Amino acid sequence: RKEVEQDPGPFNVPEGATVAFNCTYSNSASQSFFWYRQDCRKEPKLLMSVYSSGNEDGRFTAQLNRASQYISLLIRDSKLSDSATYLCVVNKNSGAGSYQLTFGKGTKLSVIP
Amino acid sequence: NAGVTQTPKFQVLKTGQSMTLQCAQDMNHNSMYWYRQDPGMGLRLIYYSASEGTTDKGEVPNGYNVSRLNKREFSLRLESAAPSQTSVYFCASSEAAGALRYEQYFGPGTRLTVT
């Protein structure tokens, strides 16, 4: 299994739709999980952290299933401004108390008027 | 508060030329990182610095060197550029390598083309 694997996309959805992104990770020792958003030709920006109990931020809901090593992101009532690439990100312990992040390749979302 | 800044924004090099990409952060973060992003490959870690005075190789270090000049600055050097190094380079920083929060904050990137 690849370290972090995401739906290849792209997803093209109409405004107002609900869209779900899925992600699996291979390192069972991972402790921190994130969704980043990257606009075209821009840097990645943190969208939200993902907690074990699941968490919500407005129209965005993130879920974590440690047993299945699975992470999801749900976007409700999609807006045109949600069009971007969504990156699933997982930390890994690189030894000596340092940690790296491993990024999925991303899933591109286009919200259509 | 500028966050993470990178210079230059764009650069064109000829094969064999050298250059240094500069990165600075003003968030008092301990850890800094250099990534490259290529189409279809996602972000790949080149080098990182867990704290001032330390540097370590990431996934794709060949052809690069780094310097953690001080807590704020982390530079990436290409000694002899090759066309395979054409990419978008991102610098990032995070609060502390051993902290519970590992989220990273990225600079705007440097678009490098090697001809």
Q: What would the mean pLDDT of A25-51 be, rounded to a whole number?
A: 92
Identify which of B33, B97, B107 has the shortest CB distance to residue A97: B97
Mean pLDDT, all residues of chain A = 91
Cα(B70)–Cα(A60) distance, integer angstroms: 38
pLDDT in tens, A66-75: 999 999 999 9
Residues of B in contact with A96 (CB under 8 A): 50
pLDDT over threshold 70, residue A59: yes
pLDDT of residue A47: 96
By C-alpha distance, the chain B residue nearest A34 is B103
pLDDT in tens, B82-92: 999 999 999 99
User: Which neighbouring-strand residues pair with A70?
Assistant: A24, A65
Query: B22: closest CA among B100, B86, B112, B97?
Result: B112
pLDDT of residue A100: 79
Cα(A30)–Cα(B22) distance, integer angstroms: 31
Query: A99: closest CA among B102, B29, B93?
Result: B102
pLDDT over threshold 70, residue B101: no
pLDDT in tens, B4-28: 999 999 999 999 999 999 999 999 9
pLDDT over threshold 90, residue A2: no
pLDDT in tens, A70-94: 999 999 999 999 999 999 999 876 6
